[in-house]
Structure 1
Amino acid sequence: MTGALVLLRHGESTANQAGTFTGLLDVLLTARGEEHVEQAGRLLAVHHVIPDLILTSTLQRAVHTADLVSDVLGRDIPTTAVWELNERNFGALTGMTKAASLAALGDAEYLRLRRSRDGRPAPMPLRQWLTLRRSPALRGLPRAAVRRTQSFADVITRIRPVLRDRLLPAVAAGRTVLVVAHGNSLRALCACIDDLSDAELAELNLPTGQPLLYRPTGAGSLQPRGGEYLDPAAHHAAALVAAEGGT
């Protein structure tokens, strides 16, 4: 049996709808987000890409997305929450609207913090950070799981072992794995899979609710480079994300 890896950004959340920096805030899916996830589940069924297991982040917008996909497929798919798949912590930007952040930072700094590999926002205020650590989705996780701020490079560092130690071995063993996570944790995973340059990374945008498929090669890597969307309309959705300022 040939395995596969499918990446799925959770459905539209209330924070996506509001245009805010969400990060580790544990927000809900919108009704439209739920509909898009159900469509993603039907796409998986039509293409006969049925997961043997699902990995999600610990945040409820990802967990709920995974549950909806399983419901559409009519299967009780083993699902594991992995904190390394959580969204990037945007530090002091968390909860701010992207429009307000852009106005405060200016174009160049806003772009550097959002899209570069090494840009790191100012740390989250201590009181906000302590409250975040006590939230149900993050309570009890190691300190490394809830930093006060993160660069994109920090996300890549925590994602790489998940790819190496869990995803690639499972796919090589013929299993189909669905990873349900977030815009930046999935961008980090793509960066590891495809060895993306800084320029390629800056241009990568992943729309919500669109399954992205990779197949294994005989050499232990994944193909095609950049993956393949099951829905061709996903490219248009990705362009809309880019027009709004990026994932």
Structure 2
Amino acid sequence: MLVLLPPSETKAPGGEGPPLDLGALTAPELTPVRTGLAEALVALAGDVPASRAALELSPKQDDEIARNATLFTAGTLPALERYTGVLYDALAVRSLTRAQRARADRRLAVGSALFGLVAGGDRIPAYRLSAGSALPGLPTLRALWKPALGPVLAGVDELVVDLRSGSYAVLAPVPGAVTVTVLSERPDGTRAVVSHFNKAHKGRLARLLATTTAEPGDVVRLRTLLRRAGLHVEHDGGTALTLVVPAH
């Protein structure tokens, strides 16, 4: 099972790992695109106003530009520790046992605007680049990633659970992947799409999928696994699941 997570705008600072080695990341066939983007991002960091415009940053976020300038020299962290925010707080990888963490590193991967795909244990520096960013002189990120990343994801020969947000999913859709929509249900039975807590629920779901010893091979077995874990999951056929949670 491969669980695809969205990245986060916020990143943990620092890192004691060796500098970025693009060729050592998962799916080395993506190295050419990664290299082009990383080099463009470093070059762009030399022009602060242009960086602000391309990355949609305010002057108060100039430290993000400084991070991009040191992409190839900064210390690194495992991807699951680099990304922060609501989803990753709920995932809480630092609280996993050694065996659970090894499973998480193997099963969890992050869809990244800069790297395309990074496994949970891949070591990366802090950076700033979003799915909707447009770097001067380069095609759109979707135009760059779809022909390179699409075949990589399509070639995964196990169940793929795609928890990426829409802007990252379109960079390289995965045919046949299981998707999960989170709905909140009010006491009167009415439902609404969860927005604020969506990431937290997906983080907890990712933690469950990362730590279970089960190996669901299809959407039906995955549905059964989630229900046994006490989750209210609905399945109307196809590869889409709906996670229903009580309204806050």
Q: Verify same fold: TM over 0.5.
A: no
**Greater RCO, 1 or 2 (C-alpha within 8 Å, sep 6+):** 1
TM-score norm. by structure 1 comes to 0.29
- Which structure: greater helix fraction? 1
Larger Rg, first or second structure (1 or 2): 2
